[in-house]
Amino acid sequence: MFSEQVPLLNIHQSTPRRTTLCDKCHNTFVSHTPHPPVPTELLKSCGVPTNIQISETLSFIADEEREIDRYDVEILKLRHAMDCLESEKAEMREKIRDRKGWISALRRIPPEILSQVLQEWSDMDEYDLEVRTQEISAHTLRMSHVSSQWRNVIISLPRLWSRFAVSMEDTIKFRNADDLINLHLERAGSHPLLLHLIVKTKAPPEELFESRLGPHGDSILRTMARALPRCKELYLGVEDEFLLLLEKGLQGSSFPMLESFSDEFTDGHRPWSSSDNQVVSSFCAHLHNAPRLRRLFLASDYLIRTVMLPYGQLTRIHLITLSLTVAKHILQVCTSLSALTVEGLCDPVAPLPVPAVLQNLTYLDFRGCNTDCLTALFQSVTLPSATYLSIDAHLPPHSDFGRTVAWHSETEFISMLERSAAPLQEVHLFFNDVYMTSDRLAKLLPLCPQLTSLEVSVSTRPEDNMEQWAMVPQLLQQLVAEGSSHELSLAPRLAQIDLSERVVLESTALSIAELALRMAESRRLGSDGMQVLKKVRVECVLQSGDKGQTSHMLKDECLVLGTKGLECELILKLEQSAAEEVWELDADEEPLIY
């Protein structure tokens, strides 16, 4: 029976355990209670231990618990030593990191070069600080945290802190936005500012001023108002009641640094609607007195029609929409104008009795203008200094859009070029359902002897089916340098050609492509007085035909020109659906680009 078994101590004899703590000094840790474990057969048996066995086991437990305390003390000593080693190891890593940083390539960059690099990096972003309803982006501040060296260099460059975009179309939720703006304004120092400010809240106008913007938005707007006199470029789209606060921020300074002003509104509506608005008039009085104002980008001609601006000192004007009446006014009073861009010319009126001579105008770009307005415009101007001309002509609203017609303004256009005798270098013509007649087209290139880049895009109606309307073949034919008398060729400085036309017959497209290759080859080598042609791009749209067969006929010739150093691109497209006005490439065909 179990009660007759020998005591536990005598079942197994256990050797004391020795643990070496140090191989160098042979320091060991020896267990003082080498009691044997409980035999497995006893643990699996169903017997009951005797009183002697219980007493003996309790004695073993007491000894082993005291031994555990000894283990804990020793482990604590070892852990402390390990912690010391880990700490010393971490310190050593920091030293290594600091030493590598000290001799790093970035630290060896001279401050003047690092300054230039950081400024180039900054120019990759449009703004240094962007505050919007749901996000804040502070590019410069983030980069200033890279290292103390970078921070010192960045803080020493006020320009990197001077460009702001603040858009408040709802309540601003960021408490620190105003602090960030003030930090950037402080670090910008006296450097002129670029500010893009949009304030368009969804709250009803009858609500209190502060409640419409929220407490943070109200604080931001007041901060921006104080910064207005420091602006060099100002993009503004605000409602009238907010404009009043901005006007107070000027404090009679009248934009002493302002060079560029834009009334930009995100939904396309002009920001100020009533012509008798005293707030608008008061604000624009500061624009009138801005001594350095040179550039205007306006959503409409509203300001030009209703307030006085410093027209005589303006050099660049960009308008989204412009009535011809106001255009005539601009031509008469903006004597220093060098660039004019209009994205929509409307309200045709009689031309000026005597064409305005714009001696300084070098850049003219009219987009999306109907032919009636262009007729009056061409009759009203003389451009003796123009080097860039872009015209996008389409039929007026009352015209029949079901057919292609001759360009009503072509006579006036050619007459303007003749009396201007301008040194045009770039000409871009876009015709939508209009075309130039052969006799007028023949006069275009002789009037542009210094032309270096020509782009013509013609869109005709497939149902017209009149091959003689194709303008591109006529232009290419004129540009072919015949024989050895290259000095007599038209546009001898032409280096880049981009032509596009909707055609109705495969034979016409093939003729255009062959003419393009012939012209490119004739001008490829150049001669005395003739610029070497560098790039030719011709795009044709076929109403029907075998594009694949035509493409293969041209491929070899393109390859030959490509090996001779000319970038030649011929694109043939098939009409997908004339009714839908959609033009696509076949899925299995790629443009011929060599």
Query: In sequence order, what DSSP letters do the residues of 205-255 get, joined into one string?
Result: TTS-HHHHHHHHHHHHHHHHHHHGGGEEEEEEEE-HHHHHHHHHHHTT---
pLDDT tens by residue, 260-299:
999 864 334 444 544 446 777 778 888 888 899 999 998 8
Q: How confident is the model at residue 583 (pLDDT cuts 50, 70, 90)?
A: very low
Q: How confident is the model at residue 362 (pLDDT cuts 50, 70, 90)?
A: very high
Q: Are 154 and 141 in contact (CB under 8 A)?
A: no
**H or E stretch covering 19:** strand 18-22
DSSP for 105-143 reads: HHHHS-HHHHHHHHHHHHHTSS-SEEE-SS-EEEHHHHH
DSSP for 244-307 reads: HHHHHHHTT---SS--EEEE--TTSS-S---TT-HHHHHHHHHHHT-TT--EEEESSSHHHHHS
Q: Which residues contact 7 (CB under 8 A, 6 or more apart)?
A: 52, 53, 56
pLDDT at 455 over 60: yes
Which segments within 409-544 are labelled E, that is strand?
426-432, 434-435, 453-459, 496-502, 535-542
Structure tokens at 434: 């209009």
DSSP letter at 24?
Answer: T
In sign, the C-alpha dihedral spanning 207, 209, 215, 218 is positive
The residue ranges of every structural domain in the chain are 2-102, 110-314
Q: How confident is the model at residue 566 (pLDDT cuts 50, 70, 90)?
A: low
Structure tokens at 556: 């070899």
Q: How far apart are CA 472 and CA 457, in angstroms?
A: 8
pLDDT tens by residue, 538-555:
877 766 555 555 555 555
Q: How far apart are CA 562 and CA 593, in angstroms?
A: 9
DSSP for 138-189 reads: EHHHHHTTS-HHHHHHHHT-GGGG-EEEEEESS----TTHHHHHHHHHHHHT
Q: How far apart are CA 339 and CA 347, in angstroms?
A: 22
Exposure of 246 in the CB half-sphere (CA atoms within 13 A): 28
Q: Are 550 and 513 in contact (CB under 8 A)?
A: yes
Of 197-201, 236-240, 401-405, 545-549, give the lowest mean pLDDT range.
Answer: 545-549
Please give the residue that has the higher pLDDT: either 121 or 201.
Answer: 121
Mean pLDDT of the chain: 78
* Tally of residues, the chain: 594
Distances from the Cα of 424 to the Cα of 368, 382, 557, angstroms? 21, 13, 32
Q: How far apart are CA 196 and CA 142, in angstroms?
A: 21
250 strand-pairing partners: none
Q: Give me the long-range contacts of 46-54 (CB less than 8 A, separation at least 24).
A: 47/1, 47/2, 47/3, 47/5, 48/2, 48/3, 49/2, 50/2, 50/3, 52/7, 53/5, 53/7, 53/8
Return the SS3 of 349.
Answer: coil
DSSP for 377-422 reads: HHHHEE-TT--EEEEEEE--TTS-TTS-EE-TTHHHHHHHHHHH--
Please give the residue that has the higher pLDDT: either 581 or 511.
Answer: 511
Q: Around Cβ 273, how many Cβ atoms within 10 Å?
A: 11
pLDDT tens by residue, 17-75:
777 777 777 778 777 777 788 888 888 888 888 889 889 889 889 888 888 888 899 88
* Helical pair 506-524 and 547-563, crossing angle rounded to 10 deg: 0
pLDDT at 119 over 60: yes
Please give the residue that has the higher pLDDT: either 349 or 469.
Answer: 349
DSSP for 351-379 reads: PPSS-EE-TT--EEEEEEEEHHHHHHHHH
What pLDDT was estimated at residue 558?
Answer: 55
Q: Are 380 and 331 in contact (CB under 8 A)?
A: yes
pLDDT at 576 over 60: no
What pLDDT was estimated at residue 486?
Answer: 45
Per DSSP bridges, beta strands 363-370 and 231-238 are unpaired
Phi-psi region of 310 (alpha: psi -120 to 50; beta: other; left: phi over 0): beta
Q: How far apart are CA 295 and CA 317, in angstroms?
A: 6
Residue 195: name the closest of 203, 184, 187, 210 by CA. 184
pLDDT at 585 over 80: no
Q: What is the pTM of this model?
A: 0.72
Q: Are 211 and 203 in contact (CB under 8 A)?
A: yes
Q: How far apart are CA 275 and CA 289, in angstroms?
A: 20
